Amino acid sequence: MSSIGTGYDLSVTTFSPDGRVFQIEYAAKAVDNSGTVVGIKCKDGIVLAVEKLIPSKMMLAGSNRRIHAVHRHSGMAVSGLAADGRQIVARAKSEATNYERIYGEPIPVKELADRVASYVHLCTLYWWLRPFGCGIIIGGYDRDGPQLYIVEPSGVSYRYFGAAIGKGRQAAKTEIEKLKLSELTCRQGVIEVAKIIYGVHDEAKDKAFELELSWVCEESNRQHQKVPEDLVEAAKAAAQAALEEMDAD
Amino acid sequence: MAPPLAQSSNPFAMDSDLNDPHSMGTTIIGVTYEGGVVLGADSRTSTGMYVANRASDKITQLTDNIYVCRSGSAADSQIVSDYVRYFLHQHTIQLGQPATVKVAANLLRLFSYQNKNMLQTGLIVGGWDKYEGGQIYSIPLGGTILRQPFTIGGSGSSYLYGFFDQAWKEGMSKDEAEKLVVKAVSLAIARDGASGGVVRTVVINGDGVRRNFYSGDSLPLWHEELEPRNSLLDILSAAAATSPDPMNI
């Protein structure tokens, strides 16, 4: 879908003759070129996973987190420009606490996704702002059950059973579609998602990466948390094994 | 209520009452039962000793499934209900589904608490939603919010604490609950000068809302209340038939 928008792509307030806003499309490219982020809705909750590309061996493992808790019951995984992502996370946290202060109950995930999408969209309406260069996967568990949303740089937000954004999204989506999500528990989902991330990681092009995992499910008491260490290790081991099996073919 | 004017040193100066702010002496009650709630209230609005409205409706609708019983200053409780109805309406549209009782109660208490210096309202919120079923929330003068299985309010409620301690039980049926509420309001009307008129009830459950009306003369008479008489002429003419001495019946 790429084309040159010469002349119509300098400002986010300019439409091209065929009705496209190129700045927003370029913002989406920033997402497409960054590490893969995957989210799935299992029968008892949501699992989020990030392929966090590590630019330098000197970085401390576990720093520069890409998955953030927005509220007790929901979290966000960010792909694209990390600094932009931090802004959006800060806004989402503030929307969530504000909602609870006024309405007396935790923000429904749908409402949270709507508000984040509105905020992202806002920055596509003015010439003095640039669009956010990040894609966000929101996973949460409220009284209507577990829900998964993507918010794109254009400001659209859709609800999904399984979602992937970033470099390896095409391959990841194919893998997700093979899974029977309605029968998976989050425990099983964590393993599957680790396998997917390891599978789409391109050893040749990219350097080392760190796998970041989080979940909101019955087992975590409907709270958004990092997946427990032992399960993460098990997931990584299973993913490595699956990779070796594939290479052996 | 405004402080008495100098005129009131003369006990026959009834005019001073007409300018006092409308206050609802009131008896209001909210009770949960198996499957929903029953709200009940008297119908007397007084300005000082003058009954400004003997058939007022103190149970006000906020949404299809949530009502509030108002006591204290009539103006204050009306304006607060109006504001909350407005916000709840917007909230319902945004959410795409009916608001919960908890949200309505929280909005009311935020108003009550943040404007406590200027307002004088005692509120009982009652309603039904699909998550928690029937709920009653009490929001007294200072802006506390408290969820309770049943609650009473208004000046007439002072006379009902002992009655409810004895008569309340968990898991009543709809009819038992409504009978309890009507009996309680009529007991309070008997003893509280600032409560009177008719008894209105609103029953809210999963099937919808039902308003009921119990006229003053359909209510039982309690200890030492007089039998209603139409006029002295009835007594005299009845007496004339049996004895010629009108003052010695």
Task: Output the pLDDT for position B221.
Answer: 78
User: CA-CA distance, A201 to A175, in Å (whole number)?
Assistant: 13
Using a CB-CB distance cutoff of 8 angstroms, which residues of chain A are in contact with residue B131?
Answer: 143
A109-118, A239-248, B68-77, B233-242: least confidently modelled range? B233-242
Q: Helices (H) and strands (E) in chain B — how many of each? A: 6, 13
Banded model confidence at residue A202, pLDDT cuts 50, 70, 90: confident
Q: Hey, are the CB atoms on B103 and A111 less than 8 Å from each other?
A: no
Q: Hey, are the CB atoms on B103 and A103 less than 8 Å from each other?
A: yes
Least Cα separation, residue B86 to chain A (angstroms): 14
Using a CB-CB distance cutoff of 8 angstroms, which residues of chain A are in contact with residue B91?
Answer: 103
Q: What is the mean pLDDT of residues A207-226?
A: 92
Cα torsion at B148, B153, B159, B160 (round to 10°)? -30
| Integer Rg of chain A from CA | 18
Q: Which of residues 20-39 of B touch A (CB under 8 A)?
A: none
**pLDDT tens-digit series, residues A65-108:** 999 999 999 999 999 999 999 999 999 999 999 999 999 999 99
Of B95, B96, B103, the CB nearest to A104: B103
Using a CB-CB distance cutoff of 8 angstroms, which residues of chain A are in contact with residue B107?
Answer: 102-104
Using a CB-CB distance cutoff of 8 angstroms, which residues of chain B are in contact with residue A102?
Answer: 106-107, 110
**Which of A197, A211, A39, A190 minimizes the C-alpha distance to A109?**
A39
Q: Which residue of B has its CA nearest to A143?
A: B131
Using a CB-CB distance cutoff of 8 angstroms, which residues of chain B are in contact with residue A108?
Answer: 95
Task: Output the pLDDT for position B143.
Answer: 96
Q: Which residue of A has its CA nearest to B103?
A: A103
Of B96, B106, B145, the CB nearest to A103: B106
Catalytic residues of B: 26
Pick the more confident residue, B226 or A159: A159
Least Cα separation, residue B88 to chain A (angstroms): 10
Least Cα separation, residue A143 to chain B (angstroms): 8
Banded model confidence at residue A112, pLDDT cuts 50, 70, 90: very high
Asked if the C-beta of B95 comes within 8 angstroms of chain A's C-beta atoms, the answer is yes
Return the beta strands (E) in B101-232 as ranges: 121-129, 133-139, 146-147, 150-153, 199-205, 208-214
Pick the more confident residue, A186 or B18: A186
CATH number at A23-248: 3.60.20.10
Least Cα separation, residue B121 to chain A (angstroms): 19
Cβ atoms of A194 and A186 within 8 Å: the answer is: no
Question: Does ipTM exceed 0.90?
Answer: no
Task: Output the pLDDT for position B2.
Answer: 44
Instruction: Write down all domains in chain B, each with its CATH number in brackets.
Output: 20-219 (3.60.20.10)
Distance of CA B193 to the CA centre of its chain: 14
SS (H, E, C) A46-70: EEEEEEEECCCCCCCCCCCCCEEEE
CB-facing half-sphere around the CA of B89: CA atoms within 13 A: 8
DSSP state of B125: E
Asked if the C-beta of B100 comes within 8 angstroms of chain A's C-beta atoms, the answer is yes
Pick the more confident residue, A12 or A62: A12
Residue A146 has pLDDT above 70, yes or no: yes
Using a CB-CB distance cutoff of 8 angstroms, which residues of chain A are in contact with residue B105?
Answer: 104
DSSP state of A72: T
Asked if the C-beta of B102 comes within 8 angstroms of chain A's C-beta atoms, the answer is yes
Neighbours of B217 (CB within 10 A): 8
Task: Output the pLDDT for position B5.
Answer: 47
Of B96, B103, B145, the CB nearest to A105: B103
Query: Burial of B39 by CB count in 10 Å (0-12 exposed, 13-18 middle, 19+ buried)?
Result: buried
Least Cα separation, residue B64 to chain A (angstroms): 18
Ranges of residues in chain B whose predicted pLDDT is under 70: 1-24, 227-231, 233-249
B166: Cβ contacts below 8 Å, ≥ 6 apart? none
**pLDDT tens-digit series, residues A6-16:** 889 999 999 99
User: CA-CA distance, B161 to B176, in Å (whole number)?
Assistant: 18
Name the packing angle between helices A229-248 and A186-200 (round to 10°). Answer: 50
The whole-model pTM stands at: 0.84
Q: Hey, are the CB atoms on A103 and B105 less than 8 Å from each other?
A: no
